[in-house]
Amino acid sequence: MKGISGWGYRPYRPALNLQEAQNPFVVRIAPHEDWFEAEFIDNGKPESGHIVSWRKMGGNLNSFAVPSGKNTFKVEGLDENTDYEFTVSRLDGTGACAPRYVRTGEVPGGRQGEPGSIVNYLHPNDDVYAFSGKALCSPSLVKLDNGVLLASMDVFAMEAPQNLTLIYRSEDGGKSWQYVTDLFPCFWGTLFTHKGRLYMQSCSTEYGDILIGESRDEGKTWSKPVKLFVGSSSNKAAGWQRTPMPIVKFNHRLWVSVDYGAWAVGGHSVGVLSIDEDADLLNSDNWSCTELISYDSAWEGAPLGKSSGLLEGSVVVSPEGKLMNIMRVGLVGCRPDHGVACAFTVDAENPEAPMTFNSFINLPSGSNSKTHILYDANSGCYLAIGNIIVEPGNCMQRNVLALQYSKDLKDWKIARILLDYRKEKSGDVGFQYVSFLVDGDDILYLSRTSLNGARNFHDANYSVLHRVKNYRDLLK
């Protein structure tokens, strides 16, 4: 084998399984109520076409041919809420993919009646990415200058290596998706554009090194990742943590929130990464990180009880022109146990100075799960999407998702409940860790979704794009 020349693979396979990359390989699955679709690649470049074999789990085998030159297919007329397995092989018998699994079921859209657009799906019993994990997490969404949408997600499992990210592309506003590439190692990644170029900033793995790479062909190929800061690469020791959060331009610099720590050592400290907007983003010498700070229960207005600390902040510019970081607060076991976020002021003139505590704020989705916050110049409002708590005593529920807004970052209102599955068991269903953007008169948001037989509410089996039409009409 040759040494690496970039960051991307189509697909990535561990060194002991490289032959799998030369066989037909399923790169996207999207199950619906009574049918599913899939996309595959075949680096062996056969000319004879392919055959799809499928069956209900434990049932009789069915098959059909996929003509040469075509790499997508649908299997229709299936039973609802039922598990199936399938494979793709070559008609000439020279190669076959590992068995893949799918469960049919309805996937929700927005309240306007539009169906959710499934970017990708991973069955909880599917081992094809087990070297990284078995659930789809960390959704990131970006719109390129030409209108193309790119969506990424990593592959997670508790205490697994957690080091693979998958990237998909839509040229029709999110109605349909196609596979682009895998990035390895890449976890907790944020896709963003700057001066016409596409970047991915991520960790190498949970609590690993902070990396950044660049693509000049809309994500198809990537530069080698540059290591910006060194982590521990172990969930037993403190290291870097990040999740796909907004990257904001202010005072001629780019800014993004970052965390450092580990649950195993008691929690996380927090800070902000930044770089001069005219500097080379691939030169680690150009990046700075504020001095890290930790949660202090002595801060004025702190909830009563032992907090698990701070995590996953959204950097925004306040109405007064100050750079702020609005952070999630761990409030399990506290009073109140939800609905509170923590605001910090960032010294925009000194990118290595620690953040200073500003205040606790009442944000409906401010605790125990990520909230993504953006400023919308068209409405003059700050927008937030995150989980709200509607069941007393269940502060970890993630089955109700809400759009919220504020004029001043302090007084937040719920504009609309976007997804409401409170009738389902909160331990089974989750719509969480949303990444969103404004698309004309609409909001597009990408959800890490656990539904229809997910392992649990946390370990998502879907990555789903939703559209909120005419969102400004809701901000009244």
- The full DSSP string for 425-467 is -TTT-EEEEEEEEEETTEEEEEEEEE-SS-SSSSS-SEEEEEE
What is the pLDDT of the chain when averaged over all its residues? Answer: 95
Q: Is 194 exposed, middle or buried (0-12, 13-18, 19+ CB in 10 A)?
A: middle
Angle at 314 between CA 307 and CA 190, to 5 degrees: 115
Looking at the fold, whether 73 and 172 belong to one and the same domain comes out as no
Residue 113 lies in a domain: no
**Is residue 122 domain-resident?**
no
Residue 65: other Cβ atoms inside 10 A: 13
How confident is the model over 356-363, as a mean pLDDT? Answer: 97
Closest CA relative to residue 330, chosen from 270, 289, 390, 375: 270
Same structural domain for residues 83 and 167?
A: no
User: Is 88 in the same domain as 184?
Assistant: no
pLDDT of residue 111: 39
Question: Which CATH number does the domain housing residue 23 bear?
Answer: 2.60.40.10
Q: How many CB atoms lie within 10 A of CB 42?
A: 17
Give which of 235, 247, 238 is closest to 202, Cα–Cα: 247
Neighbour count for residue 333 (Cβ, 10 Å): 13
In a domain, 24, yes or no: yes
CB 326 within 8 A of CB 316: yes
Domain shared by 98 and 138, yes or no? no
> In whole angstroms, how far apart are CA 51 and each of 46, 55, 63, 87, 293?
12, 14, 7, 8, 56
- The pLDDT score that the predictor gives to residue 112 is 41
Tell me whether residue 108 is in a domain. Answer: no
More confident residue, 111 or 81: 81
Residue 113 reports pLDDT greater than 50: no
C-alpha angle with apex 336: 332 to 342, nearest 5 degrees? 85
Residue 109 — pLDDT band, cuts 50, 70, 90?
Answer: low
Closest CA to 191 of 251, 250, 139: 139
Arithmetic mean of pLDDT, 442-458: 97
Report whether pLDDT(1) > 80.
no
Distance CA(467)–CA(438), nearest Å, equals 10
Quickly state the pLDDT bin for 35 (edges 50, 70, 90). Answer: very high
| Burial bucket for residue 93 (CB in 10 Å: 0-12, 13-18, 19+) | exposed
178-196 residue pLDDT tens:
999 999 999 999 999 999 9
Domain coverage including residue 62: 8-103
Between residues 159 and 338, the one the model is more confident about: 338
| Tens digits of residue pLDDT in 221-267 | 999 999 999 999 898 999 999 999 999 999 999 999 999 999 999 99
Mean pLDDT, rounded, for 273-293 = 98
Q: How many Å apart are CA 175 and CA 85, to the nearest integer?
A: 25
Residue 1 lies in a domain: no
Number of domains in the chain: 2
pLDDT of residue 110: 40
- Judged against a pLDDT cut of 80, whether residue 323 lies above it is answered with yes
Reduce the DSSP state of residue 182 to 3 states and report it. Answer: strand
Q: If you ran DSSP here, which 8-state letter would residue 85 be given?
A: E
> In terms of domains, do 78 and 176 share one?
no
Residue 115 has what pLDDT?
52
- Report if residue 3 sits inside a domain: no
Q: Are 110 and 469 in contact (CB under 8 A)?
A: yes
Q: Do residue 178 and residue 94 come from a single domain?
A: no
Rounded-to-integer distance, Cα 77 and Cα 63, Å: 14
Q: Point out the domain boundary residue: 103, 138, 166.
A: 103
Last residue of a domain, one of 103, 119, 142: 103
Average pLDDT rounded to a whole number, residues 275-298:
98
pLDDT of residue 476: 79
Task: Decide which of 103, 138, 154 is a domain's last residue.
Answer: 103
CA distances 21 to 170, 182, 219, Å, are: 24, 12, 19
Q: Is the pLDDT of residue 47 over 90?
A: no
Q: Are residues 227 and 352 in the same domain?
A: yes
Indicate if 96 and 174 belong to the same structural domain.
Answer: no
- Does some domain include residue 114? no
Mean pLDDT value of segment 350-378? 96
pLDDT of residue 114: 52
**How much is the pLDDT for 5?**
84
Residue 343's CATH number: 2.120.10.10
Residue 110: name the closest of 424, 373, 369, 385 by CA.
385
Q: Is residue 110 one of the residues assigned to a domain? A: no
Which amino acid is present at 31? P
The verdict on 35 and 141 lying in the same domain is no
